[in-house]
Amino acid sequence: MQYLEGRRYVVQGIFLLVGLVFAARLFFMQVLDGTYKLAADKNTLQRLVQVPFRGSVYDRNNQLLVTNTPVYDLLVVPREVRALDSARFCQLLQMPLEELRASLRAAKKYSRTKPSPLVQNLSPAEHAAIQDNLIDFPGFRVQARMARAYRTPNLAHALGYVGSITPRLLELPKYAHYVPGENVGIAGLESYYEPTLMGRRGVQYKMVNVRGVEKGAFRGGEFDTLSVAGQDLHLSIDAELQAYGEELLAGRRGSIVAIDPKTGEILAFVSAPHYEPQMLTGKGMGNRYMDLLRNPDRPLFDRPLMATYPPGSVFKLVNELVALQLGVVTPNTGFECNQKLVHCTHQHEYPANVSLAIKNSCNPYFYQVMRAAVVRGQSPNKFEDARLGLAQWQKMVKSFGLGEKLGVDMGQEKRGFIPSVEFYDKLRGYHHWNFRTVYSLAIGQGEIGITGLQMANVLATIANRGYYYTPHFVKGIGPSGPLPKYRERHYTAVDTTLFKYIIPGMQEVVDGRGGTGSLASLREFGISVAGKTGTVQNPHGFDHATFAAFAPANDPKIAIAVFIENSGFGGTSAAPAAGLMIEKYLRGKVAPSHKRMEDWVKYGNLTAHLH
């Protein structure tokens, strides 16, 4: 281009549209985006840009979720506007005069010679209604382009959306080759996989004489490039499971993340409340976006990736594994339920081993487990001893993918927080804190934050007995597999031989007598669920409920984490939601006998027992 735009050619800056052209094998939109006068003769050189079709998006069962549909933008080139009959023009477009004036001012401000979109996303019918009259209005023309069309009302948070590139984005180097009015992925998968989905533009240079007759390719097509269609994305999401999850949490705030532990593929990604992806496409998208933004329930907020909560009792599983690895407890270690240390959840049998401690979620037991892990007599100074112990604890906990971004294929992921020695040094002062300062970490409370995605990944790690694949949404890009980084196993700092010791206790949580997660039980179908309930302290209102699980216990195919905000104890709301999701995924349906539980999750007064 440098060569073509050199002194031999005068760039006239005329941008025209020639329309939609469908090639036999490759669909693309062809845009004439420049005409250059050749100094040597009377011919001009036209630069035709072929914008390829954006890739479609499918679920794991090849169900089409997102595709393309033609829409039309009305463009204006301010310099070419002549003697505009504003009244007639506004009538044609059914546009208030003030709005037209404001739009024209904005267009002039952007460029007098380049086209700016005046009205976007006209439907084919709206386009037909104005098409014939436009000839009376020089400086205005219509450009066809492809917009996203959604075949699903679900998964909006993961899909993200596509919009016309904004002047602000156009200034960024990575979008330097985009033209105004063109589509770009703005959030979610549409943004993360933008280069893949958009493909590559083709450019052709054609010689045209003064009468507009084509005189062939410039220099035999030496500078031409072919367009390459955008690639399709094949998601690991199960569209049916996704729809079911969104239905379960429709009236709640919270999240559900389900992962296939054997691959790290995300099966369901529910952020409640949700919105329909169709809302962020087509005419009026801007207004709908603002409505969503102002909604006090924050439907745009991507909870599984961006909301961080103290994990509550589910975190006891991680602490137990760390202590087993350090050799400070064994699976047969018993600790008194000593309520002088920390209050316990309820009256229960003596926790003579780890299984009984997990089943009863005994707070004093796990207080003593963590104390054994942190206070190890590594220094005669008790403050220094706590510093050394906590540093090792933090490093081992982080190996579970906590406190850092996991690296999911989406931009907005939060890292969560696993407090460090430096954090407490700063908070309390050097050698001014000890185990009593940090003990709430033993039960997953206090200065600790993890995301729903991270919690599901911890369960996938336990399901795999010690390793995980980074969770991801895309299992196939065109004919290829996932990105290579999603095929790597990540081992934790805990030996794979130790994970088996916590699993019987997790099965007892669900299927044992008086287990706290019994509403997640699928024993009637011969499926053993291993799980853990949790209650997340919320200083702003009712506690949040959580439940995390995997199933079948001996050959896990799904790991899941459910958070339901302001609904109190995890066993009453989050556990049945998780159980229903597991049932739906493993059996393909939910038994009629579970209809009442479904209604309870959807409509029940989950906080009634807290009043």
Least spacing, CB of residue 512 vs Zn ion, in Å: 15
Distances (CA, A) of 208 to 10, 37, 114, 226: 15, 10, 21, 20
Q: Could you tell me the two tokens for 28? A: 């693309």
When the beta carbons of 29 and 344 are compared against Zn ion, the nearer one is: 344
Least spacing, CB of residue 445 vs Zn ion, in Å: 15
Least spacing, CB of residue 436 vs Zn ion, in Å: 19
**Nearest-angstrom CA–CA distance, 161 and 279:** 10
When the beta carbons of 123 and 345 are compared against Zn ion, the nearer one is: 345
When the beta carbons of 294 and 340 are compared against Zn ion, the nearer one is: 340
Stretch that binds Zn ion, among 126-134, 178-186, 288-296, 359-367 (CB under 5 A): 359-367
Q: Let me know the angle formed at the C-alpha of 186 by 181 and 189, rounded to the nearest 5 degrees.
A: 130
Residue 272 lies near Zn ion (rule: CB under 5 A): no
Residue 344 lies near Zn ion (rule: CB under 5 A): yes
Residues 6 or more apart from 278 whose CB is under 8 A from it?
A: 150, 153
When the beta carbons of 337 and 369 are compared against Zn ion, the nearer one is: 337
When the beta carbons of 133 and 345 are compared against Zn ion, the nearer one is: 345
When the beta carbons of 336 and 495 are compared against Zn ion, the nearer one is: 336
Using alpha carbons, select from 608, 595, 609 the residue that is nearest to residue 247.
595
Preceding omega of 273 cis (within 30 degrees of 0): yes
Q: Residue 576: phi, psi to the nearest 5?
A: -65, -35
Residue 337 lies near Zn ion (rule: CB under 5 A): yes
Tell me if 291 sits within 8 A of 275, measured CB to CB.
no
Least spacing, CB of residue 362 vs Zn ion, in Å: 3
If binding means CB under 5 A, how many residues of this protein chain bind Zn ion? Answer: 3
Preceding omega of 299 cis (within 30 degrees of 0): no
**Nearest-angstrom CA–CA distance, 522 and 511:** 9
Tell me if 581 sits within 8 A of 560, measured CB to CB.
yes
Q: Tokens 């016309």 belong to which residue?
A: 164
Interacting positions 48-77 with Zn ion (CB under 5 A):
none
Using alpha carbons, select from 586, 596, 574 the residue that is nearest to residue 257.
574
Stretch that binds Zn ion, among 89-97, 176-184, 232-240, 337-345 (CB under 5 A): 337-345
Least spacing, CB of residue 373 vs Zn ion, in Å: 18
Give the single-character DSSP code of 228.
Answer: B
When the beta carbons of 285 and 344 are compared against Zn ion, the nearer one is: 344
Residues 6 or more apart from 157 whose CB is under 8 A from it?
A: 188, 269, 271, 274, 302, 303, 304
Stretch that binds Zn ion, among 75-83, 303-311, 340-348, 421-429 (CB under 5 A): 340-348
Tell me if 558 sits within 8 A of 530, measured CB to CB.
no
Of the candidate residues 162, 324, 362, 474, the single one contacting Zn ion (CB under 5 A): 362
Least spacing, CB of residue 577 vs Zn ion, in Å: 26
Least spacing, CB of residue 374 vs Zn ion, in Å: 20
Using alpha carbons, select from 378, 362, 379, 370 the residue that is nearest to residue 435.
370
Using alpha carbons, select from 219, 263, 224 the residue that is nearest to residue 60.
263
Least spacing, CB of residue 367 vs Zn ion, in Å: 10
When the beta carbons of 55 and 571 are compared against Zn ion, the nearer one is: 571
Least spacing, CB of residue 363 vs Zn ion, in Å: 6
Strand duo 183-185 + 202-208: pairing: unpaired
Stretch that binds Zn ion, among 2-10, 41-49, 113-121, 338-346 (CB under 5 A): 338-346
Interacting positions 6-35 with Zn ion (CB under 5 A):
none
Residues 6 or more apart from 424 whose CB is under 8 A from it?
A: 390, 433, 437, 438
Least spacing, CB of residue 347 vs Zn ion, in Å: 8
Stretch that binds Zn ion, among 238-246, 261-269, 331-339, 398-406 (CB under 5 A): 331-339
CA 383 to chain centre: 41
Least spacing, CB of residue 287 vs Zn ion, in Å: 54
Least spacing, CB of residue 345 vs Zn ion, in Å: 7
When the beta carbons of 337 and 558 are compared against Zn ion, the nearer one is: 337
Stretch that binds Zn ion, among 68-76, 357-365, 578-586, 587-595 (CB under 5 A): 357-365
Residue 443 lies near Zn ion (rule: CB under 5 A): no
Least spacing, CB of residue 514 vs Zn ion, in Å: 13
When the beta carbons of 328 and 337 are compared against Zn ion, the nearer one is: 337
When the beta carbons of 195 and 514 are compared against Zn ion, the nearer one is: 514
Residues 6 or more apart from 371 whose CB is under 8 A from it?
A: 435, 439, 442
Stretch that binds Zn ion, among 22-30, 77-85, 339-347, 479-487 (CB under 5 A): 339-347
When the beta carbons of 418 and 506 are compared against Zn ion, the nearer one is: 506
Stretch that binds Zn ion, among 208-216, 358-366, 384-392, 581-589 (CB under 5 A): 358-366
When the beta carbons of 201 and 359 are compared against Zn ion, the nearer one is: 359
Q: Could you tell me the two tokens for 571? A: 């066993």
Residue 358 lies near Zn ion (rule: CB under 5 A): no
When the beta carbons of 335 and 435 are compared against Zn ion, the nearer one is: 335
SS3 253: coil
Strand residue runs (E) in 130-200 = 140-150, 162-164, 183-185
The amino acid at 195: P
Tell me if 39 sits within 8 A of 10, measured CB to CB.
yes
Interacting positions 419-438 with Zn ion (CB under 5 A):
none
Least spacing, CB of residue 348 vs Zn ion, in Å: 6
For every residue of 397-453, which 3-state class applies, written as one string? Answer: HHCCCCCCCCCCCCCCCCCCECCCHHHHHHHHCCCCCCHHHHHHHHHCCCCCEEEHH
The residues binding Zn ion (CB under 5 A) are 337, 344, 362
